[in-house]
Amino acid sequence: MSYTAWIILTASLVGLSCGLVGVFLILRRMAMMADAISHTVLLGIVTAYLVTRELHGIHMLIGAVIAGLVTALLVQWFHQLGVQQDASIGVVFTTLFAIGVILISTSVGNVHLDVQHALMGEITFVPWNRIDLPLLGEIPEAAFLLMIVLLIVLISILAFYKGWKITSFDPALAVSLGIPAAAMHYLFMGLVSVTAVASFDAVGAILVVAMLVTPAASAYLWTDRLIVMLALSGGFGVASAVIGYVIAVWLDTSISASMAFATGILFVISFLFSPLHGLASKYMRGKSSRALPKNSV
Amino acid sequence: MTSHVLQVENVAASYRKNTVLQNVSFQVKPGTLTAIVGPNGAGKSTLLKTLLDLHPKLSGHVQFFGSSYQKMKRKVGYVPQRGSVDWDFPADALDVVMMGLYGQIGWLRWPSRRHRELALEALDKMGMADYSKRQISQLSGGQQQRVFLARALVQNADLYFMDEPLAGVDAATERAIMRILNELKQSGKTVLVVHHDLQTVEDYFDHVLLLNGTVIDHGETKQAFTQENIARTYGGALQWMKGEAFYAHPARK
């Protein structure tokens, strides 16, 4: 496969995985947690490197999951002790991220791991770093990692669709039905961590938030069905990847930034023109729909 | 002893740093319809949540059907306040009712046709069959409440806790809900309802629990729902109740 094809495939895998995971982030009102986890996985990666002295897929995934869960646990813990949720998120992730940055510069030294790379990603280098696999042949390591993560995402959503749906909509009912809401929460945080770390190489910690949040926020405007929202969000993620690549080539600029920019464009289009919840259609429906206020009788 | 479906002994609970419930003790007989009434902040919702382990209890014992809640979970249904969920969630009425079956469907399995039929049947019972495919934010408050009731019905529990099911609903919904509550009672099930409209307590409920931090009185409505007990429960808030505004405690939104 050509250099361009690998980049577009890698970017699309990021868009698809992030788009699917993002749906539940939006519905659980946890967009900020995506921001937090996407940063703290850096600490996970650094720690995994310090322990194993290797920078390969599986170590990174495990390190990221642990870091993500520690973040989620600490946020929850501070919140229960009376710190406001958003303050708790802000304190926890910046501190853990800072530790990661300090560790990189003091203990890691001269490895393929620097702050710039972690924050912004460098998808243009992805095709150079290849591994040889049976069946698949020689493919970029980042693409392979993303394929595995996409598989994990798909299996998790199939397996825990009901659990995440009910704990997002009505956690009290879920608990009273014997569905463990806390376990579902941490399982999901683990999934966000895995997705974030796999997308790291390609788009970096900052822009992975755009891929996680924006396609899902756009999809939310187009449909009232969860299953359709998942499909749309994944589709928007892939579309953003492709459109982003085109923009990057056209303007000769950063691919990851262009991808994030593309998610923004799709969101604005959705926000204005979605037939269901778009601004234009709300305006067209005008006062007739306002005459029936939602929650009154 | 075992003839009670619910036994509550000396339960206490706090919210943040304030003690909301203290020395709460009462027993509920099967086949009864109990109104839980009390002023704002009396701990009515907290009481339900504490009994159902959704809120930590500081002390006390609770027994369901002579056993622990964890063992009897399947036999207990809960209808939270309508305002406690996000009605913009991408789901239709049928989806929400199906959620009542998620505990029975089990892990890794998707709802079957039989589950769909059960859910549709419950919606039909609440007069909502025509709205099964309607997005939940497009339903009126009363219709949303009926969807919640339908969801409780599919659980097929023996003991139900309902948090203000009659708050802010239209007259038709109120009639539909009361018809269902009476049907549940006829079939030997037990229902505890947090209720805010003191005027209808005598008509709707055979038992009443007057709550204000602790149990002021509890028993058959005829005996317990006296002017004196109401005054003790509501304190000063009672003064303006005498007029047409008997609506002592509007539901919090």
Q: Which of A96-110, B46-60, B135-149, B162-176 has the lowest mean pLDDT?
A: A96-110
Question: Residues A4-34, buried b or exposed e (16+ Cβ, 10 A)?
Answer: eebbbbbbbbbbbbbbbbbbbbbbbebbbbb
- Checking B86-89 for CB contacts under 8 A at 24+ apart, the result is B86/A169, B87/A294, B87/A295, B87/B136, B87/B137, B87/B139, B87/B144, B88/B137, B89/A27, B89/A168, B89/A169, B89/B136
Structural domain spans, chain A: 3-291
pLDDT of B187: 93
CA distance B236 to B47: 23
Q: Tell me the two tokens of residue A17.
A: 């995985």
Where is mean pLDDT largest: A101-105, A214-218, A291-295, B103-107?
A214-218
More confident residue, B240 or A9: A9
Is B91 within 8 Å of chain A by CB? yes
Q: Spell out which residues of chain A touch residue B194, defining contact as CB-CB under 8 Å.
A: none
Strands B6-15 and B18-28: antiparallel
Tokens 């549940």 correspond to B184
Q: What residues pair up with B37 in beta bridges, in sequence order?
A: B210
A154, A20 contact by CB (below 8 A): yes
Chain B's closest residue to A180, CA to CA, is B103
Contacts of A172 in chain B (CB under 8 A): 49, 54, 78, 80, 84
Q: How far is CA A241 from CA A11, A37, A72, A117, A255, in A?
A: 5, 22, 28, 19, 9
Q: Tell whether A81 lies on the interface with B, counting CB pairs under 8 A.
A: no
Instruction: Tell me the three state secondary structure of residue A272.
Output: helix
DSSP secondary-structure letter at B252? P
Q: Where are the beta strands (DSSP E) in chain B?
A: 6-15, 18-28, 33-37, 59-64, 76-79, 159-163, 190-194, 207-211, 215-220
Closest CA to A36 of A72, A12, A6, A8: A72
**Considering CB atoms only, which of B89, B95, B103 is closest to A179?**
B103
Cα separation of B221 and B216, whole Å? 13
Those residues whose C-beta lies under 8 Å from the C-beta of residue B188, and which sit 6 or more positions away, are: B30, B31, B158
Q: What are φ and ψ of residue B37, in 5° steps?
A: -125, 155
Q: Which two tokens stand for residue B224?
A: 């317990």
Distance to chain A for B113, nearest Cα, Å: 16
A235 pLDDT tier (thresholds 50, 70, 90): very high
C-beta atoms surrounding B20 within 10 Å: 21
Lowest-pLDDT choice from A10-24, A64-78, B101-115: B101-115
Residue carrying the six token digits 């009910």: A166
Is the pLDDT reported for residue A293 higher than 60? no
Query: Among A129-133, B184-188, B214-218, whose mean pLDDT is lowest?
Result: A129-133
Cβ pair B51, B8 in contact under 8 A:
yes
Q: Could you give the dihedral angle defined by the CA atoms of residues A194, A195, A200 and A202, in that order, rounded to the nearest 10 degrees?
A: 140
Query: Are the beta carbons of B54 and A175 separated by less than 8 Å?
Result: yes
Mean pLDDT along residues A116-129: 74
Which of B52, B102, B108 to mutate: most A Cβ within 10 Å? B102
User: Is B251 in the A-facing interface, judged by CB distances under 8 Å?
Assistant: no
| The predicted structure's pLDDT at residue A113 | 64
Question: Which of B134, B140, B162 is most worth mutating to test chain A (most A CB atoms within 10 A of its CB)?
Answer: B140
Across B69-157, the runs of DSSP E, i.e. the strands, are 76-79
Chain CA centroid to CA A144, Å? 17
Q: CATH for A3-291?
A: 1.10.3470.10
Q: Which residues of A228-249 are buried (b: 16+ CB within 10 A; e: fewer)?
A: ebbbbbbbbbbbbbebbbebbe
Q: With CB atoms and an 8 Å threshold, state whether B87 touches A159.
A: no
Instruction: Give which of A169, A282, A289, A292 to mutate to test B binding, by max B Cβ within 10 Å.
Output: A169
Distance, first Cα to last Cα, chain B = 39
Cβ–Cβ below 8 Å for A169 and B91: yes
pLDDT at B219 over 70: yes
Cα A71 to chain centroid distance, Å, stands at: 15
- The answer, for A206 touching chain B at a CB cutoff of 8 Å, is no
pLDDT of residue A292: 41
Distance from CA of B172 to the nearest CA of A (A): 10
Please name every residue paired with B24 in a beta bridge, in sequence order, or none if there are none.
B11
Enter the pTM of the model. 0.86
